[in-house]
């Protein structure tokens, strides 16, 4: 792997950002192309920024290098920013839905994209054993210090599901994972392969008005995160062996003071 010219990369990326913010998307797209030429692994997320501007193909997922860099940088302040400043409460909503539906306690739980342990903390007294997986080593270190998980892995979610040879789980959670994935088949197939028959899969997603999707199943939204249509989520769940239990409209978080619409989805594996 060739060494990255950090100075040239920083110059190109900052120039691209400035052009994007000024609204000159064509010039920004050319600058982001320079960024990708200098850094093919895409630590800065140029591919998703191009897609959000409508100047590039929608990728199947956010680059692993980008997701890792993003969350490694914010691990120490993640809880404060996401919960206190951005109003993120999806883990609490997950707990409330389980209580309302009288589901649990759970024997084996897999928390994909566990981050600093927000979902693990919300479900700790409802689970006998929780395994956490996250791509960011710094986030996993914070989660480890909270002593919420029996086992923690640094890994990409779909890769973990593909490689896991331990006994299956009776619950898989994926809160704030779908905003960094476009195509959902790999995640849903992987979840099915790692659940006991009758096991549950709960996850959150961001969404946009149907006319914004314009027939697309998913797209990169204005804040460089993936949004998924409810119809696409329903279809892919059915095709990968799940029965939909419920899909609930939620506010996932705030962005610049405005609520971000999303879904909380609970499905049951047919087996």
Per-residue confidence (pLDDT) for residue 4, from 0 to 100: 81
Cβ pair 202, 264 in contact under 8 A: yes
Residue whose token pair is 């009288």? 102
pLDDT value, residue 2: 59
Q: Can you give the pLDDT at residue 85?
A: 87
Domain range 76-269, CATH class: alpha beta
Question: Please, how many CA atoms are within 13 Å of residue 22, restricted to the half-sphere of its CB?
Answer: 11
Q: How far apart are CA 83 and CA 76, in angstroms?
A: 13
What is the C-alpha to C-alpha distance for residues 260 and 245, in angstroms, rounded to an integer? 23
Helices (H) and strands (E) in the chain, counts: 12, 9
Q: In a structure prediction context, what are the per-residue pLDDT tens digits for the chain, which is 271 residues long?
A: 557 888 999 999 999 999 999 999 999 999 999 999 999 999 999 999 999 999 988 999 999 999 999 999 989 888 888 888 889 999 999 999 999 999 999 999 999 999 999 999 999 999 999 999 999 999 999 999 999 999 999 999 999 999 999 999 999 999 999 999 999 999 999 999 999 999 999 999 999 999 999 999 999 999 999 999 999 999 999 999 999 999 999 999 999 899 999 999 999 999 8
pTM of the shown model: 0.95
Each domain of the chain, given as residue ranges in start order, spans 6-60, 76-269
What pLDDT is stored for residue 83 in this prediction?
87
Half-sphere exposure of residue 194: CA atoms within 13 angstroms, side-chain side: 27
Q: How far is CA 8 from the centre of its chain?
A: 30
CB atoms within 10 A of CB 107: 14
Residue 107 pLDDT: 98
Task: Provide φ and ψ at 250, rounded to 5°.
Answer: -140, 165
CA distance 143 to 162: 23
């Amino acid at each position: 792997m060739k060494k990255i010219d950090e100075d040239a990369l920083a110059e190109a990326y900052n120039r691209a950002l400035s052009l994007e913010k000024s609204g000159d998307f064509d010039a920004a797209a050319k600058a982001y192309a320079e960024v990708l030429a200098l850094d093919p692994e895409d630590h800065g997320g140029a591919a998703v920024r191009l897609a959000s501007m409508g100047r590039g193909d929608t990728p199947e997922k956010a680059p692993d290098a980008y997701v890792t860099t993003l969350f490694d940088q914010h691990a120490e302040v993640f809880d404060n920013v996401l919960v206190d400043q951005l109003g993120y409460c999806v883990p609490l909503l997950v707990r409330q839905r389980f209580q309302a539906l009288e589901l649990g306690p759970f024997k084996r739980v897999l928390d994909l994209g566990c981050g600093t342990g927000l979902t693990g903390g919300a479900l700790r007294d409802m689970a006998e054993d929780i395994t956490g997986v996250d791509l960011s080593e710094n986030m996993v270190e914070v989660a480890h210090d909270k002593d919420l998980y029996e086992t923690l892995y640094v890994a990409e979610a779909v890769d973990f599901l593909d490689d896991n040879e331990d006994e299956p789980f009776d619950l898989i959670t994926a809160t704030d994972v779908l905003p960094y994935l476009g195509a959902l088949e790999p995640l849903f197939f992987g979840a099915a392969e790692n659940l006991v028959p009758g096991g549950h899969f709960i996850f959150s997603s961001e969404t946009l008005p149907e006319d914004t999707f314009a027939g697309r199943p998913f797209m990169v939204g204005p804040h460089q995160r993936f949004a998924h249509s409810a119809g696409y989520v329903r279809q892919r769940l059915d095709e990968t062996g799940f029965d939909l239990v419920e899909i609930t409209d939620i506010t996932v978080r705030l962005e610049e003071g405005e609520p971000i619409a999303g879904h909380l989805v609970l499905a049951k594996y047919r087996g």
